[in-house]
Structure 1
């Protein structure tokens, strides 16, 4: 249910000649994705990069001597990095909570500005983080799992490289190259995760703010990436509504359609950069 009726508030504020207003695009700034990576994911990558240097050095000395204790020494180094991560995880969770709060604050301010610009209505006293607490908690939990998964995957792949090397007596330089590639893959994956998580949380927050204002119609905004999903690109500019009474109606010369499945909405599929613009229908 809507928390407030933005259409009624807008009519009281201004005498509109148009029957519908498309709000401006709210595009999340890349710096928020960079900040998520730097504060919550990069420390994990750095931890395993540092551990990799130790593990590579131990492997190099081990492969020549191959004493009974040597594999256990390397296992100890890998376990030590995992234990360090467990201690670091507490700090990362706090940083993640702060990032989610700041992202919500940015989105809320952007939504308030878009509404004010389009209608003259200031929603400042009506909006707060408590309205979208469930969504914020969901993304905190999701990212804590992703952060832990980045560490777990790095540990597993580094361990696989080491013990495969020991079993096959592979040269230290070959194993070192594989270990460093694992760290590089962890870094690339983490950067992509941070960008994707920003798209997802900003899209969900935008949907929530639209629904609580009583707006059911929205416009698809394509990401215009170099290699977009073709069916997403084809939806650019289309109008959608979940309300059956609005579907089939004409708004600003376009027919309002039933939206696709929710997991194919803007920003929902993996690495989708599409967004939605809210539409205020005044008729």
Structure 2
């Protein structure tokens, strides 16, 4: 994706505010998006729980015959894998809608903040097409993660059932193992949903800020006990987009719930990217916005 500045927000802001440094509010991922993502994942993995009775029946038959009916479990698992694979493919549409709605909400929030703090309406230049590439990439990654989880769950169920049957364990023991796997599935699904929602939000923050010529941000954590120590130390510190920490910008490291609070320094000397944006795009953007420079 191209993160070069398309316009210089600092240049547009000069003369419209007396502030030298403008700190925007954080744009965080929505809990509703995490929950919607979780429901999409679980709709794919529902086969792992809906076939519980069939798996237990096959386990009982296999235990009685030991070898004679062993293929019964394999057949059920094959059907389950095929159903989850098809469901994962069908999840692409709902995920695309979810990410597109989040991108639209993020853009509207960003436009609203700029308008409120600077008095410039960016609705004419902040476009949905700016984030189309990252949207498609995030959807592809999410589908791959869901497929990976469904494979892990299927392998876990098959191994547990066959192993417990071979040990002569009771139906109660097998049912308990399946319940444990169901718990594992829910936890992993929630982890993926939370992680991908934060990752996409982090990508949107970076794209929108860099395209406006915003070069730096303040690292913000959620402030709870689950924040990793390295990120807790970064809270409140200022970073540049072109010099991120070793593990990435806020929201990008795995399971990072931090966000990048945009900082617009009106006295900052433009670097090459912002200078090019100022020369090549400032007049056009000002014209689109209907303002004079």
* TM-score relative to the length of structure 2: 0.85
Match of 1:234 in 2: 233
Match of 1:101 in 2: 100
Matches within 5 A, 1:1-283: 1-11=4-14, 14=16, 16-38=17-39, 40-66=40-66, 68=68, 70-242=69-241, 259-261=244-246, 263-283=247-267
Task: Tell me whether 87-96 or 143-152 shows the greater mean CA deviation.
Answer: 87-96
How far residue 231 of structure 1 moved from its aligned partner, in angstroms, is 2.1
CA separation in 1, counterparts of 2:151 and 2:56?
18
Deviations 1:15-38 (A, max 9, x none): x22211001111222001101111
Q: Secondary structure at the match of 1:225?
A: coil
Deviations 1:245-267 (A, max 9, x none): xxxxxxxxxxxxx5412x33211
8 Å CA contact retained: 1:223, 1:272:
no
Change (3 A) 1:242 1:34: closer
Q: Secondary structure at the match of 1:147?
A: helix
8 Å CA contact retained: 2:206, 2:241:
no
How far residue 67 of structure 1 moved from its aligned partner, in angstroms, is 5.4
CA separation in 2, counterparts of 1:180 and 1:44?
18
CA separation in 2, counterparts of 1:188 and 1:51?
20
How far residue 44 of structure 1 moved from its aligned partner, in angstroms, is 2.2
How far residue 9 of structure 1 moved from its aligned partner, in angstroms, is 1.6
How far residue 204 of structure 1 moved from its aligned partner, in angstroms, is 1.0
8 Å CA contact retained: 2:45, 2:84:
no
Task: Tell me whether 167-176 or 194-203 shows the greater mean CA deviation.
Answer: 167-176
Q: Secondary structure at the match of 1:264?
A: coil
Q: Secondary structure at the match of 1:196?
A: helix
Unaligned runs of 5+ in 1: 244-257
Q: RMSD in angstroms over aligned alpha carbons?
A: 1.6
CA separation in 2, counterparts of 1:259 and 1:62?
56
* TM-score relative to the length of structure 1: 0.88
Deviations 1:125-157 (A, max 9, x none): 111221122211221111011110111001100
CA separation in 2, counterparts of 1:242 and 1:91?
36
* Superposition misfits of 4+ residues, deviation over 2 angstroms: 64-67
CA separation in 2, counterparts of 1:235 and 1:78?
47
Unaligned runs of 5+ in 2: 268-293
CA separation in 1, counterparts of 2:190 and 2:215?
34
